Amino acid sequence: MSGLASSSAPDELSKEFLIPSYIIAPNPPPGGVPDVPKCPVLVFINSKSGGQLGGELFATYRSVLHSHQVFDLSEEGPDKVLSRIYANLERLKRDGDGLSPQIEQNIRIIVAGGDGTAGWLLGVVSDLKLSKPPPIATVPLGTGNNLPFAFGWGKKNPRTDRQAVESFLRKVMSAKEMKMDSWHILMRMKAPQKGSCDPIAPLELPHSLHAFQRVSSSDSMNLEGYHTFRGGFWNYFSLGMDAQISYAFHTERKLHPEKFKNQLVNQSNYAKLICTQGALAPSFFQPSQRNIAQLAKVKIMKTHGRWEDLHIHPSIRSIVCLNLPSFSGGLNPWGTPNERKKRDRGLTPPFVDDHFIEVVGFRDAWHGLVLLSKKGHGTRLAQAQGIRFEFHKGAAEHTFMRMDGEPWKQPLPVDDDTVVVEISHLGQVNMLATDECCSKSKTDPTTPRRRGHEDGESDEEDSVRGGDAQRKFGAADTFRIPDEIDISSLS
């Protein structure tokens, strides 16, 4: 297949996606009548993601489309770009421009980067509160790539040649719009007498923590004498062992990037951290490694306004709050409950637009080593409209948290018995889904096309409560040790 023509002489395919420059920036409209694109797109690429792949992908998209509709996120944030474009669209509509309403109605967004980058853009689109929010397609260009996988865009880093970009654009044109829930996090604690309670990220603030900041003095959630933070996520929030290992990995990778050259080396380094961080067995000597029940009391909201205690078995060392059926590279810790569990416990498949979040627990790293069976899953704790962690006074000086792949170390005032982290439903965003989508929509019975498999008759939750030695392993690719690695050689 021959390559597409340059933007100065676009062929019939590229014309379907091109946006005239005067739509993007306040330039004079052309003299003639511009072509009406069937699928106008804006492309945001993190050129620093995926090694050199991000830069190569950026160059290819700019050769296929007009350069003014392809943006490098390392040079300009999506908030400034989209605010400028939509302000210009409003001005053009007021001036009677005939093309701008059609562009606004049909525009689609492509974002290439890790899950943190995708979450950054999703947050910006949500904050703009547009009358017609554009649906978003995600290119897998990170480590986990959970968002792309959940909506059928794959999890492997893409090819960057012209033919691959053309193929992706065709999929964007034919993709189906699908709603996805978003979740709000509020964290509040008394102002410590000494020290700071600001989230500590690995050397620099991750994209998904950009919104995780102190509330303003005018914010209705601000309370005198307290430090309050707010943030949000689309994929998952985790607390405990999982976030601790991820924090160590991210810190080490940023300090010594030369040690993290490819996927196999990264997995090897992650496996070593599992051992050195004490994740293979509970530790009673390091408070940050204690089980969840030692750290916090957990409450859930199944119906609006009614909180109830959630029993957490002492073996649970990590809790993951899932919005999508994809965690740590495409695995599904919730799985699909069988009919008996649906009847006895009221469990349902993990819909992405039902205003409910799935709460899953892991005991230790061995519990999360593999998800080899299609029916494997973690310890299902609850499905809820909200979840609250109330940290025990003096239980630890800090804990570890992770949000959409980005971890941080959270200081906890030792003399404060009011430290609360509360997760609640925030809103919804429009995603683009392909025929390979594995996410389920409660409002659209035609999704997904690819169905999961129900559990077998074994009940992993019962085995946890009863202390049965024959426990079924759960899911988390984060903890997977590759077959090529000799575990006995790890120190």
**Shared domain check, 155 and 19:** yes
Tokens of 304: 């609006």
Q: Does residue 441 lie within any of the structural domains?
A: no
Q: How many domains does the chain have?
A: 2
Q: Does residue 186 lie within any of the structural domains?
A: yes
For residue 71, the model assigns a pLDDT of 96
**Shared domain check, 195 and 84:** no
CATH number at residue 409: 2.60.200.40
Give the CA diameter of the chain.
Answer: 77
**Shared domain check, 164 and 253:** no
State the first-to-last Cα distance of the chain, in angstroms, to the nearest integer. 51
Range of the domain at 251: 182-433
**Shared domain check, 165 and 270:** no
DSSP 309-332: E----TT--EEEEESSS-BTTTB-
Which of 114, 148, 174 is at the close of a domain? 174
CATH number at residue 101: 3.40.50
**Shared domain check, 246 and 387:** yes
**Shared domain check, 359 and 255:** yes
Beta carbons within 8 Å of 446's beta carbon, 6+ residues apart: none
The Cα–Cα gap between 14 and 224 comes to 56
Q: In degrees rounded to 5, what are phi and psi of residue 185?
A: -115, 130
DSSP state of 491: -
For residue 298, the model assigns a pLDDT of 96
Which of 174, 208, 224 is at the close of a domain? 174
**Shared domain check, 161 and 186:** no
DSSP state of 454: B
DSSP state of 418: -
Per-position pLDDT tens, the chain of length 491 = 333 434 444 677 788 999 999 999 887 777 666 778 999 999 999 888 877 788 999 999 999 999 999 999 989 989 999 999 999 999 999 999 989 999 999 999 999 988 888 888 998 999 899 999 999 999 998 777 889 999 999 988 889 999 999 999 999 999 999 999 999 999 999 888 888 888 888 877 766 666 677 787 888 888 888 888 888 899 999 999 888 888 887 787 777 766 655 545 555 555 555 455 444 444 433 444 568 999 999 999 988 889 999 999 998 988 999 999 888 767 778 877 667 766 677 788 889 999 999 999 987 554 444 433 455 567 889 999 999 999 998 888 899 998 888 889 999 888 887 899 999 999 999 999 999 999 999 988 666 555 445 555 444 443 344 333 222 222 223 323 333 333 233 22
Which of 174, 204, 220 is at the close of a domain? 174
Can you tell me whether residue 425 is helix, strand or coil? strand
Tokens of 436: 């390979």
For residue 350, the model assigns a pLDDT of 87
